[in-house]
Chain A
Amino acid sequence: MASNGAYNAFEMARAQFDHIADLIGLDEGARAFLRTPQREFHFTIPVHMDDGTVQVFQGFRCQHNDARGPSKGGIRFHPQETIDTVRALSMWMTWKCAVVDIPLGGGKGGVICDPHNLSMREQEQICRGFARQLARNIGPVLDVPAPDVMTNAQHMLWMMDEFEEIQGGHFPGVITGKPVGMGGSLGRTEATGYGVVYTIREALKELNIRPNDTVAGVQGFGNVAQYAIELYTQMGGKVISVSCWDQKDQCAYVFRKMDGIDLPQLQSITDRFGGIDQAKAKDLGYEVLPGDVWIDQDVDILIPSALENSITAENVEKISKRVKIIAEGANGPTTPDADKVIHERGIHVIPDFLANAGGVTCSYFEQVQSNMNYFWEKDEVLGKLDVKMTAAYSAVSELARKQNMYMRDAAYVVSINRVAEACRQRGWI
């Protein structure tokens, strides 16, 4: 454990937890229990490499807390994976599942390896080795892995296959992130973007503003942004600006149309990475502006859904007086310094792990469907998603309002409290 003051992800996660524990007034026993993962697995995975040699890879799996249900969290392939990173991420998963009130705990896993140095066959061996090592400790009712850094649906299918081989049956609920038709869920692409807008809709209701009277600015034009814009526009809102990265110029641009962007039109001139064709956009009447002006738009709602640390101490002052809501579609778009300013200005923030929880909620739905081996239509998935997101938002917002608490803190309070309560009810603490 780092003692020289150097940055350590696990220390950070604990510090954040301690801050909330103080707010709740959590007792020492509960703190001690929640500060550390319940279970950790450290194991080796020997692999016969393509050149005939054997290489041994180090694997981890942390199950931080499963009081509310089976652990849930991704498996990372990373060359400098450390147990502390995995611990921190598993803790964050516990809070993330709890804030949307889905009956799952938090977990995370990883293998120290660099897929750039590995053939697909070698990666398959690692996946199967991982599943063999953990065959008795993961499963639909124990711990449910998912894709993460440098892993994808293919890796998940290899692991599922190995697990099923060992268990002698079909258990698609052992893993999520599978393709549709192989135990995956419909609605996955829409889930995060739509989730963001469900929470915006609820926030507007509370603020007594009709969506038709609002204008929004979106940072980014990827998957999350496009679906958020789709639903928000359906609700009657008007998006006047989006931004995207220009691969050729190596910088971002804002595309603005004051009377509202036309999503299908923009999509028709966008490549699959969300890059918009500048010339065609100009022809269609869009203003093309420097990328950093996304933040100073005169709008009611800002939806940062591109990069980490987009709102910093340097640009936070540029946020228009008109802005009432910031819905964090991306992970960690706001730096702590900037967060303080936003808090002081009284802007209603829908924090990232609540706003973009549509993704994990859909994973939960995938698992539920897999377990019963019956798969819903897309409408059904999205309908259920709406219910979950609405309820989650309301619980956080209600707390924030009643206790006059900052939304971000309120989200953590709700979630940590739910976990602590589950532990108590089980009589663990």
Chain B
Amino acid sequence: MSDELRPTPDGLMASLTERAKELNCLYHVEEALRQGGATDETFMSLLRAIPPGWQYPDVCEARLTIEGRTLSLSGAEPAGGVLRADVVVQDEKVGVLEVFYTDDRPGEDDGPFLKEEVRLINTIAGLVSHFVLRLRLQDLQKDWEALRQGGGDTGGEIWRSPLHLLRESDRSLYLRIAHKILNYLCQIGVEEAQEMLAAASGVNGVNEEMSGEVNVPADRTAHDPDYLMSDAPFELASRYLSQTEVLTRVQNWMQEDKASSLLRVLNNPRSPLPEIVDAMRRFQHGIPDKRILRSSTLKTLRVSLTQRLLTEQIDFVRVTKENMEIEDFYDLTRRMIIPAGSHGRLGGKSAGMLLAHCILARSADEEHPVGEIKVPKTWYLPSDGLHDFIGHNDLQDVIEQKFREVEEIRQEYPDIVRLFKNSTFPTRVVNGLSVALDDFADVPLIVRSSSLLEDRLGTAFSGKYKSLFVANQGTKAERLEALADAIAEVYASTFGPDPIEYRRERGLLEFNEEMGILIQEVVGRKVGKYFFPAFAGVAFSNSEFRWSPRIQREDGLVRLVPGLGTRAVDRVSDDYPTLLVPGKPNLRANVAVDEVVRYSPHWIDVINLEAGTLETRNLADLVREVGADYPGLEKVFSSLRDGMLGKAPPRVLFDPEKTELVATFDGLAYSTPFIGHLNSMLDILEDKLDTPVDIEFAHDGEDFYLLQCRPQSRSDESAPAPIPKDVETRDIVFTADKYVTNGWVPDITNIVYVDPDAYGELGSREEMQEVARVVGRLNRLLPMKRFILLGPGRWGSRGDVKLGVSVTYADISNTAMLIEIARRKGDYVPDLSFGTHFFQDLVESRIRYLPLYPDEEGIVFNQHFLLGSPNLLAGMLPEFAHLEKVVRVIDVADATEGRLLRVLLNADLGEALAMLVDPTESAAEPAPTPEVTPRLPVQYWQWRLRMAERIAKEIDATRYGVVAIYIFGSTKNATAGPASDIDLLVHTRGDARQSAELLSWLDGWGRCLSEMNFLRTGYRTETLLDVHLVTDEDIANRTSYASKIGAVTDAARELPMGDG
């Protein structure tokens, strides 16, 4: 970072020394006034404290004239010039403070005085003014107390003195209050009050029509201030009301008036954040008990505060209005780093966390206990901090970044990151960060984005912007630099290619992106050189994955991992978070011990404090290393011994070398109230926010910390697909109405249908196992995630192959959907597996699961289509032709003259529908985009095909001995994704040297195309070409890829070659 961050210590020290005397003087003045009462002795102490602050203390004298009397230490007179400052209370001069030298002293800025001394005397006079005001208020208070203790009516007109004070100090407030009391008297039917009001406003009597519906502007009622400024209104009131009531009402109105001054600030769009914060502070101290305010006032304040401080999103405001208190907002402002003149907000992520915490803190009851919920200490940088930063460093050019081509953006992004990291923060922000760091001390921090776009309903930007861990170790200067660096990098991520692409896809590009920043302590414990929480996770109030029919969608789902939550939030291909259902904690996805062990987390993310990095460690190794110091060991781990999982041994008996531990979370689930609490939290939040939610949390072994709460993300998991009602029966392939999840399935080109009847009639176990092998082979041949598997009973059945095809996960890994068919047998419908044999694999790879009950009433199961369409099996796998009756491979386009199969899943309705559609029909809106296959698939194959055609045109056929060149796979099928390669089949008659040269020529292309693809998509591959050379002999024998030429399904297409 720049030098601006590093104040020069020498300079600072010098200026501090200069000011030390002055500050010391001020300190003593304040002490004198704070401790003193309403006596002259207080003022004498004050006078004693003043001379040491002046340049020549020995000959310096102070004199105070106040309320008619003059006080002086020695009575000495000035020898030369005198410094004077008035003491003013509520616009009234009540005294004067003088400082002078009793002996001549040389001239300075102002006579013998320094300009700093002029400032100092003014400051001191200000302090004296406040002191006098305080004394007066104390008197008022005493009257008040006397009134209260005197029992009200008997104490005479005690209301007079405070109201007089008010009238003197704040005319306009006095007027408003006078008006209010008259209005009140009118309400209770005091006619004189009506007259008085009329007199004051110059209208004869109360105009009844005023309260009716009149379509002309009402007369502007001009008050006669002088009339109301008299005691008359209150004298009238004291005739009809008790003394206590008058004073209580006056007090309440005065406090309400403070609320309206806050409202005025909030409602003024020009008032910057510092002013709002200031107004809040006054409000907070002025009205200690908010109950006296009308609930409508409070709601208005909450709405305005939400809009100004958090977010303007309407759904959100609606909820905060009911669930957050003014105190919550006030607490928030105390940890805000506010850039000068800021009008920013904190953004969705901050808002979600705060709101959830407030809701849970207030809504938990005996029926819904949630335990103690903490939120990690957090500092906030409002959303316009980004623009402040950009302006401060003249980086305005980056704003236009978003309108460039994605290739350009990707190319320039590293430079932007570098540029941002080399920029400086405005001093105000740097000072704020410095204060924040003092508050945090040296716990590791996470810098998270909280963009105004983020966490909006339907636009989950989860993971699009950066969150960075900062180890926060070392000297203060080092920590400050690292923190500023991280913030700069998070800022830069706003201009990264992926978020811009994502916004472009959703039409949010023009939205002026502002990015709030949360600086949050990482929840966890320091263990050795590591820092991590006992566990962390993400919980959903609606579960899109169920492994048992006993589990309802509303039972929710939680993904738990040991250590930092990064592994629970993202899907990880080589590891499994532990799944628990908060509503049915006793039902577990994995039951057999080997299943439990296999599908348990094996890796852990931790912060290495020494290296200052985020590390992924092998869990077993880490536990061996840290042993019983692992926080909350017994909550996370079970011990595995002799094929049995049991409680982790007590600390004293724990030997990390000898005990095999498995992260099961059994201790947490069954020996603590955690799951019950979590379930209540999800229930409460879903209820209050009126939408399914997901929350992120972490636990340090002792306490639960809420990290985030937002409407349950629809885009990455699932969104309910609208189910059309006017589909012709002949276009329906199947429907389902049980255990339907929400889910997005790409359009399907192929169906693999294992006919339940034919499978059941197979004569031997070997034949049934062959079916599994056929499925495994098809899994590799068919276009990835573009085919679905339908089969009888339990996919993956291990013991009894008769009950279902005994595939392993590897045999089905590329399918888009796994469908189990339960056909009625007599009066009995068999149980289905719900994919339990590889449930977690399905979850992690987003393979949708659906059970079909074809024999139930109202269900369509188009057996005619499934059995009547041409079967491609024999053509694709001739060696398994004898299983043709059992395994049917349907090319949907071939069977339906170019149509596709679309599967719509809607858990909200509990309905699923698979229908044939024309490829031109756009996907049902609002079809969300799953992370793995972003929309706009068109682009991906189109330019790939163009490039393949280009290659074919450019190829020097004679030189390399090329006969023909073919394209197949995803580019040909128009299904290519961002990471797809281009499958080329080259028929050659060249010799080995020619072939080698050809491959080398193509390799050059492949690498170039790969770079192009990277710039477009961000997917890094070594080469984009997958080239297969085939010879005449291959074609004659139809071996390997040669079989693609003239194949039954997915045949390779010849590309026109140039003249070379």
Closest to A116 in B: B836
**Complex: how many Å from CA A271 to CA B810?**
19
Q: A115 and B641 in contact (CB under 8 A), knowing A7-B768, A85-B800?
A: no
A interface footprint on B639-655 (CB within 8 Å = 1, 0 otherwise): 00111110000000000
Q: With an 8 A cutoff between CB atoms, is B296 at the interface?
A: no
Q: CB within 8 Å of A: which of B543-558?
A: 547-550
CB distance from A63 to the nearest CB of B (A): 20
CB A73 to nearest CB in B, in angstroms, measures: 14
Binds A, one of B182-190, B399-407, B439-447, B587-595: B587-595
**Known contacts A247-B574, A272-B597; is-contact A80 B766 (Cβ 8 Å):** no
Q: Report A309 CB to chain B, min CB distance, Å.
A: 6
A-B pairs under 8 A by CB, number: 108
Are A152 and B644 within 8 A (Cβ)? Answer: yes
User: Are B642 and A184 interface neighbours, CB within 8 A?
Assistant: yes
**How far does the Cβ of A78 sit from chain B's closest Cβ, in whole Å?**
6
- A119 touching B586, Cβ below 8 Å: yes
A149 at the interface (CB under 8 A from B): yes
Chain B residues contacting A9 (CB-CB under 8 Å) are 765, 800, 802
Is the CB of B813 closer than 8 A to any CB of chain A?
yes
A56 at the interface (CB under 8 A from B): no
Does B52 lie at the interface of the complex (its beta carbon under 8 Å from any beta carbon of A)? no
Chain A positions within 8 Å of B, measured between CB atoms, are 4-9, 12, 50, 76, 78-80, 82, 85, 114-122, 147, 149-150, 152-154, 177-180, 184, 188, 247-248, 250-251, 271-273, 308-309, 335-337
18 contacts between A and B (CB under 8 A): A4-B761, A5-B761, A7-B764, A7-B802, A8-B802, A12-B764, A80-B800, A114-B548, A114-B833, A115-B592, A118-B591, A119-B586, A150-B592, A152-B643, A152-B644, A153-B593, A153-B644, A272-B597
B799 / chain A contacts, CB cutoff of 8 Å: 76, 78, 85, 149
Nearest 9 pairs of A and B residues by beta carbon = A119-B586, A179-B642, A115-B591, A153-B644, A248-B574, A117-B548, A250-B810, A79-B831, A116-B836
Report the nearest B residue to A178, measured CB to CB: B642
Question: Which residue of the partner chain B has the closest CB to A312?
Answer: B773
Q: Are A116 and B597 in contact (CB under 8 A)?
A: no
Q: Are B587 and A117 in contact (CB under 8 A)?
A: yes
B376 interfacial contact with A, CB 8 Å: no
Of chain A, the residue at the smallest CB distance from B592 is A150
**Least Cβ distance of B960 to chain A in Å?**
29
Closest chain A residue to B764, Cβ basis: A7
Residues of B within 8 A of A85 (CB): 799-800
Q: Whose C-beta in chain A lies nearest to the C-beta of B832?
A: A79
A122 to B799, CA, bound (A): 23
Interface residues of B in 824-844 (CB under 8 A from A): 830-831, 833-834, 836
Closest chain-A Cβ to B783's Cβ sits at a distance in Å of 18
Q: Say how far B688's CB is from chain A's closest CB, in angstroms.
A: 27
A152-B643, A309-B769 as given contacts; A120 in contact with B586, CB under 8 Å: yes
- Least distance between B510 CB and chain A CB atoms (Å): 42
CB pair B592 A152 closer than 8 Å: yes
Interface status of B360 (Cβ within 8 A of chain A): no
Q: Classify chain B: how many residues form its interface, as a range.
A: 35 or more
Verify if B573 is at the interface (C-beta below 8 Å from A): yes
Do A116 and B644 touch across chains, with their CB atoms under 8 A apart?
A: no
Closest to B662 in A: A272
Q: Which residues of A contact B830 (CB under 8 A)?
A: 80
Given A7-B764, A248-B573, also A150-B591 (CB < 8 A)? yes
Identify A80's interface contact among B550, B645, B760, B803, CB under 8 A.
B803
Instruction: Answer whether residue B602 sits at the interface, using C-beta atoms and an 8 A cutoff.
Output: yes
Q: How far is the CB of B1039 from chain A (nearest CB, A)?
A: 15
The yes or no answer to B793 lying at the interface (CB within 8 A) is yes
B574 surroundings in chain A (CB, below 8 A): 247-248
The answer to the question of B40 belonging to the interface, with a C-beta cut-off of 8 Å to chain A, is no
Do B591 and A177 touch (CB < 8 A)? Answer: no
Q: Is the CB of B834 within 8 A of A116?
A: yes
Closest Cβ of chain A to B754, distance in Å, is 15
Cα A119 to Cα B574 in complex, Å, equals 27
Picked from B602, B641, B760, the residue with its CB within 8 Å of the CB of A179 is B641
Tell me, rounded to whole Å, the shortest Cβ–Cβ distance linking A192 to chain B. 13
**B131 neighbours in A (Cβ, 8 Å):** none
Contact with A along B751-788 (1 / 0, CB 8 A): 00000000011111111110000000000000000000
B331 CB to closest chain A CB (Å) equals 42
B809 within 8 A of A: yes
Select from chain B the residue with minimum beta-carbon distance to A271.
B602
CB distance from B653 to the nearest CB of A (A): 14
Tell me the complex Cα distance, A79–B798, Å.
Answer: 12
Q: How far is the CB of B661 from chain A (nearest CB, A)?
A: 11
Cα–Cα, bound, A85→B800 (Å): 8
Interface mask (B607-639 → A, CB under 8 Å = 1, otherwise 0):
000000000000010000000000000000000
By a CB distance below 8 angstroms, the chain A residues around B597 are 272-273
Cross-chain contact B642 with A251 (CB below 8 angstroms): no
Q: B794 at interface (Cβ–Cβ under 8 A)?
A: yes
Residues of A within 8 A of B643 (CB): 147, 152-153, 177, 179
Bound CA–CA A371/B851 (angstroms): 48
- B6 at the A interface (CB under 8 A): no
Nearest CB of chain B from residue A114's CB, rounded to whole Å: 6
In the bound assembly, the distance between CA atoms of A4 and B757 in angstroms comes to 12
Nearest CB of B to A427, in Å: 37
Do A116 and B764 form a contact, CB below 8 Å, given A9-B800, A250-B810, A309-B769?
no
Which residues of chain A are within 8 angstroms of B800 by Cβ–Cβ distance? 9, 78, 80, 82, 85
Extra 14 A-B pairs, beta carbons < 8 Å, given A152-B592, A179-B644: A7-B765, A79-B794, A80-B830, A80-B831, A115-B592, A116-B836, A121-B586, A147-B643, A149-B798, A152-B643, A188-B642, A250-B809, A250-B810, A273-B598
* In contact, A7 and B591 (Cβ under 8 angstroms): no
User: Which of A8, A9, A116, A188 has the most chain B CB atoms inside 10 A of its CB?
Assistant: A116
Closest approach, in angstroms, between the C-beta of A420 and any C-beta of chain B?
A: 26
- CB contacts (< 8 Å) of A50 on chain B: these are 586
A308 close to B769 (CB less than 8 A): yes
Closest A residue, CB atoms, query B593:
A152
**With a CB–CB cut-off of 8 A, which chain B residues contact A179?**
641-644
Residues of chain A contacted by B761 (CB below 8 angstroms): 4-6
Contact (Cβ within 8 A) A6 B762: yes
With A and B bound together, what is the CA distance between A50 and B586 in angstroms?
Answer: 9
Q: Is the CB of A116 within 8 A of B548?
A: yes
**In the bound complex, CA of A152 to CA of B760 (Å):** 30
**A335 CB contact (under 8 Å) in B588, B642, B766, B802:** B766
Which of B571-603 touch A at CB < 8 Å? 573-574, 586-589, 591-593, 597-598, 602
Please report the C-alpha to C-alpha distance between residue A299 and residue B597 in the assembled complex, in whole angstroms: 34
Q: A90 → chain B, closest Cβ, in Å?
A: 14
Tell me the nearest residue of chain B to A177, going by C-beta: B643
Contact A336 B549 (CB under 8 A): no
Residue pair A250, B813 in contact (C-beta under 8 Å): yes
A257 and B752 CA atoms in complex are apart in Å by 41
Other-chain contact of A117, B549, B642, B645, B810 (Cβ < 8 Å)? B549
Task: Report the minimal beta-carbon distance from A366 to chain B, rounded to whole angstroms.
Answer: 11
Once bound together, how far apart are the Cα atoms of A248 and B844, in whole Å?
12
**Contact in complex: A251, B762 (CB < 8 Å):** no
Per the bound structure, the CA–CA distance linking A180 and B660 in Å amounts to: 15
The smallest beta-carbon distance between A123 and chain B, in angstroms, is 8
Interface residues of B in 515-569 (CB under 8 A from A): 547-550
Contact of B765 among A12, A82, A121 (CB under 8 A): A12
A5 touches which one: B547, B593, B763, B768 (CB < 8 A)? Answer: B763
- What's the Cα separation between A308 and B830 when bound, in Å? 26
A122 to B593, CA, bound (A): 17
User: Contact between B598 and A116 (Cβ–Cβ < 8 Å)?
Assistant: no
In the complex, how many angstroms separate the beta carbon of A47 from the nearest chain B beta carbon? Answer: 13
Q: Report the minimal beta-carbon distance from B757 to chain A, rounded to whole angstroms.
A: 10
Residues of B within 8 A of A308 (CB): 769
Tell me how far the C-beta of B397 lies from the nearest C-beta in chain A, rounded to whole angstroms. 43
CB distance from B659 to the nearest CB of A (A): 13
Q: How far is the CA of A121 from the CA of B584 in the complex (A)?
A: 13
- Of A50, A119, A250, most buried by chain B (CB within 10 Å of CB) is A250
